A and B are shown apart, each in its own frame.
Chain A
């Protein structure tokens, strides 16, 4: 088996690095989307309750009684922050996908060059 030329090795390593970055970004985005769904569901349930309802917030292992409207506000803020982070991660994913495609084309071109020289 012939050795992979250093130039191609470098390109392949870069490609794998980008693939890993994309995987990490996608995982982060999926996690945040799940968190956002959870916040939305909690907000929906809180919306059904009367203002006097006894609502608690987890602080570590403790549950602390809080004001329903204030907790709703906090959750809405959290939802907004999560949505913003999801949007940023989606943009990052798109950029990484474009770079991966470019990298793939580059690798194919390099390979073609070597094959032509070898043939």
Chain B
């Protein structure tokens, strides 16, 4: 009985862990994509220049016409409610570092998820056996 409980507990634990790692991976992928888009936008700011009109979203699908008055520097969020003014090239460097850190974390998370999935694959036949036995007993 104790062995059965242990197997079921282990299965449930791995299943829950796999779910958390999957959610983390989704989040990391979304963040990486977001930062890559920002990096590309930074490249375009200089090209737009200070004379051209741009449309700035203010939410709810609404946009206001504006002109960029500084195409050399941008404000970058560092996290923990703190932001800093950086040159476009420094901002890009900072974003590149963040992207590589996230890619590294994504690789580690993928490896960990694969390990958990292999463990689940290992336990699943045992769990199926337990369930079949339970059904037989009625």
Contact = CB atoms under 8 A, between A and B. Distances in A.
Interface of A: 35, 38-39, 41-42, 45-46, 49, 53-58, 63, 71, 75, 78
A55 B82 contact: yes
Contacts of B80: 35, 38-39, 41-42, 75, 78
Q: How large is the interface on B (under 10, 10 to 19, 20 to 34, 35 or more residues)?
A: 10 to 19
Contacts of B85: 53-56
Contacts, number: 44
Contacts of A58: 81-83
Interface residue SS majority, chain A: helix
B82 A46 contact: yes
B79 A42 contact: yes
Given A45-B78, A46-B82, A54-B84, 6 more contacts: A41-B80, A42-B79, A42-B80, A54-B85, A55-B82, A63-B75
A56 B79 CA distance: 11
Contact of A46 (B75, B78, B94): B78
A57 B75 CA distance: 11
B94 A45 contact: yes
Contacts of A49: 84
Nearest to B81: A58
A63 B78 contact: no
Interface string B79-93: 111111100000000
Contacts of A39: 79-80
Contacts of B78: 41-42, 45-46
